Structure formats: C-alpha cells, structure tokens
Amino acid sequence: MTPEDYAEPVYDRGHLCPSGDRTNSVPSNSATFLMTNMMPQLPANNQGPWNDFEIYIRSLVNQGNEVYQFTGPVGNIGTIGATMVPDQRVRIPQFTWKVVLIIPNGSNDVARASSKSTRVLGIIVSNQTISQSAPWRNFRVTVDAVEQLTGYDFFSAIPKSTQEIIEKRRDRL
C-alpha cells in the first residue's frame, strides 16, 4: 500500500488506531500514519459516526478508565489502488467494526473484569451507505455479533463465565 492507492477521491485513509489516541509522543503519533494502520473508509463513516465513537472512547479514558479496543475491516466490496495488479490493490471493506472493553484504572486487569462492573461496546458500521450525521450509538451491537461477523474470539483471557455474560450484553448508555 502507498498513499497513491488512495488517490481516488471516494475513500478516506481510515485509521485503525486513531491519531488522537497516540498523542503522548511524536514517534507514537507518527506510527498511526503508517499504511498498515489504514483501511478505505467512506468519508461519511470515517468523519461521522466512526470519529464520534473514537472521541467518545477517549472521553472514557479521560474519566479514569482503561480501555482495550480491537478494530478492523470485514468483507470485500472491491478494490482501490494505483497498481493494475489485482492482488496488490487495497480491498475496500463492506463493514468496519470496533470492540471495546472499559474498566476503571487499576492493576490486574483480568481479575478486575467482572460481569457487573465491566462495560463492553461493539459497533458494526456499513462502509457502503451511511449518513455522516448518524449517531454512533445507532451502530451498537453485542461483542458476540462482532465475533460472529469476524470469526475472532475477543476477551478470551477473562474467565469464561464472565466473558459469556459481558459479550452478549448490548450497551445502552
């Protein structure tokens, strides 16, 4: 991937790990601009609910919480790219997703994760049709739904009984 792969004006270079999450040092922030941290996102997604969700998660950190998040693309609705070689073009995801686990600051994170005090969020956002003004809360799903979509198993270090409870809960805050 190169910046030229995004020369077509249809898609933003959507950050997997947002630049705003890595402001503690110049090298840390610069790393967020590597092409391996990018996925094609519709501007209405990237600059709308996706960005709003990232800002919301940063506000939770500023309130004294630790946040673990996983982000990615899924699906393939085509490609973009400067090269004419199909295998070297950038795949456009059908959906973008995030899974977030939120716990109060402290130590021994796995032991502090509980079915009562641990909050989890999952979102799945269309990368085909979306309104930039759509609230990110409209895209909330369970972590189980993201696992089903992606095939990943999140939060597997947490005891199974707790993991099962928190992953099937759909956030309502």
What distance in Å separates the CA atoms of residue 137 and residue 155, rounded to the nearest whole number? 22
Catalytic residue among 15, 39, 69, 167: 15
What distance in Å separates the CA atoms of residue 110 and residue 101, rounded to the nearest whole number? 11
Q: Does residue 21 have an active-site annotation? A: no
How long a stretch of residues is the chain? 173
Q: What are the backbone dihedrals phi and psi of residue 94, each rounded to the nearest 5 degrees, phi first? A: -75, -35
Buried b (16+ CB within 10 A) or exposed e, 136-166: beebbbbbbbbbebbeeebbeebeeebbebb
Q: What are the backbone dihedrals phi and psi of residue 156, each rounded to the nearest 5 degrees, phi first? A: -70, -15
Q: Label residue 75 left, alpha or beta by phi (over 0 means left) and psi (-120 to 50 means alpha).
A: left
Pure H helices in 82-158:
109-112, 143-150
Catalytic residue IDs: 15
